[in-house]
Structure 1
Amino acid sequence: MAAAKPFPTGPTGLGTSAARIGELFRPKSAGRRDLPELYCPPAVRDDRALGAEVNDRLVRWAEQVGIYAGKLEQFRAVDFGRLLMLTHPDTDDPDRLLAAARCMAAEFAVDDYFCEDALTSKHPERLGPRLMLAQSAIDPAQLPARSRERYQRAMRTEPVWYALRRSVEELAPYASGAQLGRLRQEIAALFLGMDAEAGWRIGGTMPPAWEYLANRQMNSFLPCMTLIDAVGGYELPAAVYGRPDVRRATLQAALASVLLNDIYSMHKEHGADGLEYNLPLVIAAEDGCSLDQATQQAADMHNELVHSFEAAAAALSLTGDPLLTRYLGGLWAWLGGNQEWHASSPRYNQS
């Protein structure tokens, strides 16, 4: 498959011109030796010192809010600080990167605590109420006096809910009301996707690939990616962010990013206790093919999405809107940084 031409990226906080990014950061096939080729841009930068600073601060924050208690060294090794440094190359401000890292860590904690517990416990039906209250943590309920104190106490004493609330509160200095509202909307969709997956588990069913992919569109990195402009120190207007053509491109990038996650995580999840879901396993079950064949099909879907996003972003950049072009460039950079992190993080590379 011939490589499509990269679309131009707008000026960034690093002062890089659109022309230079277009020339220097051409897309490439990236992947581990044991994985099929994944069409993905390279990471724009890899500032190890900046990533380490953000990661150190994030670990201290996790300790303060109580998530990953007793597992902070494992949490440190996952290196979310490096992920944020890689996926947001248009800022070198550790405070802005930390603000996004806190949100990401809290969202991952929902998966690691609530969803994993639903997978292994005898009461997977508890996930729905937990996710409902997780959403309430980021968009606090305004309760009458009789219930207010008990609600607030619960939000403080459950570490995951507390982390979610703190992460959004501490993002506020760097994001407008519209950007925060956008984040809450995308997180609500994320939790809906998590809840749907629990429904499959309770029923002991494997969904068809089309249904799984529709769910994965919601249960994706989109909440993290929607902070691209806030972390970069600018704001893509709501009227532009919500345009159907911009939304379509954003969702293509988001789905591609999480299908890459499926491919990198399948060996970690394959053989896990309980029924697990990722695209290669779903395809193998539906088609009756080998896991290697299914993985190649999943990689082909990922690559198709990246090519589609690249073409859509190139067309959108021709409108001449500098903020839109910068945002699209941020999505492109996010894909490259995401792949680089997955290729090296112990979360996905331990045997």
Structure 2
Amino acid sequence: MTAAALVATLAGAVLTACGPHTSTSTSAQAAPSAAYPSASAQSPTAPGSASDNPTPSRGVPPSAAYPSVSAQSPTAPGSTSDNPTPSRGVPLTPSHSAPLSPPNSNSTTAPGAAASPGSSVIGKAPGGGPLADPSISRGAAGGGKTVALTFDDGPDPRWTPQILALLAQHHAKATFCEIGPQAQRFPYLTKAIKAAGDRLCDHSVHHNEQQDRMSVDYNTHEIVDAQRDIADAAGAGTKLWYYRAPGGDFTPWIRAIAAQHDLRPLGWSDDANDWRRPGVDGILRNVDQNLRPGAVILMHDGGGDRSQTVQALARLLDQLDAQGYSYGFPVV
């Protein structure tokens, strides 16, 4: 199957299975803070954009640590994401019924046309097939009472070492979804994560939660450049296992790009909502709402003040130990 056919098939399947979505979140969207300037995206909105997360939207624009971007290339029309609830801070647009085949590497191919021969955007795998499963992983591997802890937006020199220390105390493993420039800025932390036996995950270059509105070229840059930056920071021979789109902003063709570069799209099933800083008790209540064997728990080690996260994690690990949980990684 060609890469374009793969993506078209994925898009058609999602549209058939999911249909149009509307927001189910009742919480107010968080306003961008001075620490999180919005990206200046001027490309046309992709009709039918919807996020793919099973939990409410987060509304966190790109951090000052991840430089803002100005993208003016045409957006792939017909994008449809695969989460049942809306992306964090990304307004929904009317649904679009046309399946998507991505434009080629110069972002000018007409919607629905096949990628041009030799396109470097999609088609890294021999024969055009994906190297990784393009479906979204939302479960922990290992069976039994296993959970997968995941931490986004780092590494951070203040919070990441504290989280690593807590994990070590409890003999717990985790997956760290890193921002490419952050990994380059603090390579010793990325190396420490690898040395601890934890897994690394690509979390983009700019943490732009409106990636589905951008061109294929833009998305390829966000995924592939971050993958390279994180792997280089961690050292030779490092494998990145997953790609987690900022805000869960997945579309079939974004997932296809990740899979073509051997990255399993990574979602979650249990959102701590610690980025909102609801207090330590609030974070624990959020986790407990969806805590069950096989849960993939979303928390953060970067992107802001994570003191509440660290305190909540200490209590959560005690609780999980007492309840007989073990710690694994998301399904690949």
Q: Taking structure 2 as the reference length, what is the TM-score of the superposition?
A: 0.30
More strand by share: 2
More helix by share: 1
- Which has the higher relative contact order, 1 or 2, with Cα contacts under 8 A spaced 6 or more apart? 1
Q: Taking structure 1 as the reference length, what is the TM-score of the superposition?
A: 0.29
Structure exhibiting the larger radius of gyration computed from Cα positions? 1
